[in-house]
Structure 1
């Protein structure tokens, strides 16, 4: 029987060999068919199972090959294991059970897939692959019931280690299949995807009616300890306090704010200022000097500790020097409405300072009367123009207009009998002081929306210049109309707002303007019947910011062609420029001049310069 089986086996092997996937070098095999190849042997079917064995993705240091496999795989050669002869032949012709065979096939296929997957992860990434072709040798005798399920031991071509490894893989696969991890993961994903219902807002419990309330003050409940309601208090009248109340019309008494009731010292002070009015002024036209001598005189001017003092409480907004040649008298107007008078000849210097409060808002313009230097005229934003008379110790009211705010004024006549007043809303007032009891007013509207400064021509006094927002206009008082007054000449070269515009002090042939575009411009106004050309543009930092008083370039009354202006440069200084744009002189004070002097004034006859800063301090340079 065995010989016949062997003969039949050799005959079948010669007729039909099992189909085996052979390895080709440098060829990557991605899949292997696990379908058993059947070969009829004398009416029987012999099954060949191909087990994939891959060396991809495997690290050699983590796995110990068997000696046979290491010998086969040395030098990266592919060994195709074939088995062409059947070592053991079945003792008898057995008819395999089809169900059992199918179960064995499925088990073997699962094991083969697990082996293939695990080996792909463990073995090194090479292009070589090993396919082990295992021939089923024979079928062992089964139980009497016909159970023919093959075991792992049926693979006689494998080493014991390999058989044990395949057995472990099969057991692990069955264990993980029993855990049903895929079904659990699917259920978990479904639970995560389900949206949780929004949390219901907690309802506040309703307060019970019989619940005891919180304790409250009886004073707040407006009841006395016995529970009787207190009577309602009588309504008190509300007081509306104005930050800057207007002062009453009419004359105001000169009462110093910084002095106690010491009439003797104050009388001496008033007498000094009254006597100064008797001093005759010197004709400055015959005292014009050359630039060289003018520079020499300026270099002799110095500042000391005695010539620096705080006069007013608020920032300095205007300043004037008394024309006296024997005493140095400085008048200061502040943004608080104060007027401070400082006599530098007094020692100690605090004894020569007297502060008055004739206005409720900033004093924007301050001049000594050209006819009587004992009188000082002040104009304020509060709509009042007052004249301080030191001989009578009063501030009389010259002009008042509560409907509009004043910005600047100047004298139309040399005897100070007529004035021109500029308003912030662009209107102009012509005031005549010769009317007894009150002043005559003529109000006209200019072509400007706003007026900052007005200045009268020193020779042809019918002309005056008004500085507006962006333009400066020259008007003729003889052609002013109540509505729609047109300027004689317009200066339109400015790109930003103008702070001031002034004629030169002696001839009026030049006009200097201070603009917020950091430029000082000088125009030729010698011929007012035609266009006024621009002569010089001086680059100068005029950006004082919000907290400092704006710069205003003014002419030196003694020098026709030089202007004085403060500076933002360090160290702090006051500068003088020539009409050609060249710098003439810079006044440095060292430790005595450590702030910006926005408002400056020069003595009309002497070489005395006074500068005021935004804290009310005055700095005086003198010979």
Structure 2
């Protein structure tokens, strides 16, 4: 007890050095004395001890000026040692907090008897009533594809309700989007027309040994001049001209743009690129006509197929759907006169370009959800493969009916959406599928049976996300048992696989290939590979002997 008193005296000596801020210390002790004390053991001696403790605290407060007081406690026999120590701690804490004068300090900071500044209530904004009249809104001439003038922009009345974009109707002139590039586009179109003269059918190459094919891929390189921005938006489709004299690449993108790039022409470090806009929605598929390479056919999600004829300098309508739901097409005939068109809702249409009608000759419902694409068998052209939600199937055109058609073969299993399914280009003995379940599968279609066996399964990251085009594994026309596909691996690369699942080669370059090339295409006879990314840029790997 004596030692405790000595510690308390030292603490009080240190507290005396603190500056006094307001009310005297006795106020805190007075408040302490008014606090009710818990009676000990419920008898009178306990209450007597509480009163004596309060009196002792008051006496100590009055004798603070001397600095040598001692705390005296009632040594009642009825209190245990724990109760005595507890009461002593309570008294010490109360005296310590009373000496700090915290209440007075708070009043000095906030003002005597005042409170903090009141928050002003901001008035609520009144809702503007809709008068039902049309609003006058300024629209950009550049976005409207109008000529810029020195006069003020016209004020166009637009409806307050949502507007739908009207798709283009009728033939469209094959003119450049930017008038500044008109001369360059004209030269490009002349080149395109010149290399398309004569027969454009490609002779089938003899199959190479895998070792020889792998060596030829290693000779293919990329350089600065083989990288160019061809479309203003994300690349969704690619096609390469079959000419062996000059290399011409066509790219289709979102918002209906088509870009043509002449790889063999480069004047004053300016690439020969022409851009057109024949559609108003994403272009999902591009093909040069197998009979006339001066024509390029494109299908868009706006429900239309157009044929760009460079000789006539026009984009003609080939097929127009009632809804905006066309997804892909392929040639049913070798001369490209008959097309098979797929729709997202599971319908297919047969279009004969020779009839002059753009509505289609036959329509059928396959009962598929999210019909992404169709691929026609290269030899038995009445068979075609489909890629849809969680399934890849083969149908026979001879069995198509208006109400519903049944598949003649199934390629299982696919647990998620199938992005693509392509027959091998020469014999059609294999089908390669790319699925969102991170798998690439190869099926043996040498015999069309109800259950097509899967001969190879390759684990491949196909999760491209929202802002990249979906991966599509496509065959190399020069080697029909090998295919190319984009890759999410870092450093960025383009993969080449064999139909057995063996990786044959990786196209990559630390400086000139730094993005994901989701869409890829191989030249039918030359060692040229073109890959497109999500910014409209194309990357070309070419044999060293061809780059000169």
Fold shared, TM-score > 0.5 on shorter chain: yes
Q: In the aligned structure 2, how far is the partner of 1:480 from the partner of 1:459? A: 19
| C-alpha contact (below 8 Å) 2:476/2:482 kept by paired residues | yes
Of the three residues 173, 193, 209, the one matched with 1:290 is: 209
- Give the match's secondary structure for 1:275: helix
Q: Shift of the alpha carbon at 1:450? A: 2.3
Unpaired stretches in structure 1, ≥5 consecutive residues: 1-58, 64-105, 126-219, 221-232
Please identify the structure whose Cα radius of gyration is greater: 1
Q: State the partner residue of 2:498.
A: 578
Q: Which residue of 2 aligns with 1:365?
A: 285
Quote the Cα distance in structure 1 between the aligned partners of 2:537 and 2:501: 29
Aligned equivalent of 2:235, options 284, 299, 316: 316
- In the alignment, which residue of structure 2 is the partner of 1:610? 530
Aligned-pair CA distance for 1:240? 6.3
Partner of residue 559, structure 1: 479
Match of 1:251 among 159, 162, 171: 171
Q: Distance in 1 between matches of 2:224 and 2:4?
A: 95
- Evaluate the alpha carbon distance shift between residue 539 and residue 279 of structure 1 in structure 2; reply closer, same or farther with a 3 A threshold: farther
Equivalence for 2:469:
549
Q: Deviations over 1:167-209 (max 9, x none)?
A: xxxxxxxxxxxxxxxxxxxxxxxxxxxxxxxxxxxxxxxxxxx
| Residue 327 (structure 1) aligns with | 246
SS, match of residue 431 in structure 2: strand
Distance 1:266 1:411, change over 3 A: same
Partner of 1:382: 302
CA contact (8 A) 1:336 1:360 kept: yes
The counterpart of 1:118, out of the listed 59, 66, 76, is 76
Tell me if structure 2 keeps the 8 A contact 1:284–1:558.
Answer: no
Pick the aligned partner of 2:313 from 393, 396, 399: 393
Q: In the TM superposition, what whole-angstrom CA distance separates every residue of 1:116-162 from its partner, at most 9, and x where no partner exists?
A: 9713548899xxxxxxxxxxxxxxxxxxxxxxxxxxxxxxxxxxxxx
Q: State whether residues 244 and 361 of structure 1, in contact with CA within 8 Å, keep that contact through their aligned partners in structure 2.
A: no
Q: Alignment partner of 2:511: what SS? A: helix
Distance 2:444 2:533 in 1: 31
Structure 2 counterparts to residues 157-236 of structure 1, below 5 A: none
Contact 1:568 1:596 in 2 (8 A): yes
1:363-512, aligned counterparts within 5 Å?
Answer: 363-436=283-356, 438=358, 440-512=360-432
Distance 1:367 1:282 in 2: 13
Residue 150 (structure 1) aligns with: none
Aligned residues: 413
Deviation at 1:247, TM superposition (A): 3.4
Q: Distance in 2 between matches of 1:440 and 1:60?
A: 110
Paired residue secondary structure (1:330):
strand
User: Alpha carbons of 1:330 and 1:124: their partners in 2 closer, same or farther (altered >3 Å)?
Assistant: closer
Instruction: Return the offset for 1:612.
Output: 0.3
- For 2:192 and 2:177, the matched residues in 1 are separated by 18
CA–CA separation in structure 2 for the residues paired with 1:502 and 1:529: 17
User: Does the Cα contact within 8 Å between 1:303 and 1:592 map onto a contact in 2?
Assistant: yes
Q: Determine which of 581, 588, 592 is the counterpart of 2:512.
A: 592
**2:488 corresponds to which of 563, 568, 571:** 568
| Alpha carbons 2:297, 2:307 under 8 Å: kept | yes
Q: 1:242 to 1:372 in 2, by over 3 A?
A: farther
- Once residues 457 and 80 of structure 2 are traced to their aligned partners in structure 1, the CA distance between those partners, rounded to angstroms, is 88
Residue equivalent to 1:53: none
In structure 2, what is the Cα distance between the partners aligned to 1:241 and 1:270? 42
CA distance in 1, matches of 2:517, 2:307: 26
The structure whose RCO (Cα within 8 Å, separation 6+) is larger is 2
Point out the more displaced range, 346-355 or 315-324.
Answer: 346-355
Deviation at 1:276, TM superposition (A): 1.4
- 1:565-585 deviation line (CA, Å, top 9, x unaligned): 000001000000011111100
The 1:440–1:62 alpha-carbon spacing in structure 2 relative to 1, beyond 3 Å, is closer
Q: Structure 2, unaligned stretches of length 5 or more?
A: 6-43, 53-72, 84-127, 137-156, 544-548
Separation in 1 of the partners of 2:366 and 2:424? 23
Partner of 2:255, secondary structure, is coil
Q: Secondary structure in 2 aligned to 1:119? A: coil
TM-score (norm: length of structure 1) = 0.62
Q: Secondary structure at the match of 1:270?
A: helix
C-alpha separation between the residues in 2 aligned to 1:116 and 1:590? Answer: 88
Matches of 2:344 and 2:172 in 1, distance apart? 25
SS where residue 344 of structure 1 aligns?
strand
Q: Tell me the CA shift for residue 283 of structure 1.
A: 5.1
Conserved 8 A contact 2:185-2:273? no
2:190 to 271, 275, 284: 271
Moved more, 236-245 or 266-275: 236-245
Q: Does 1:337 align with 2:256?
A: yes
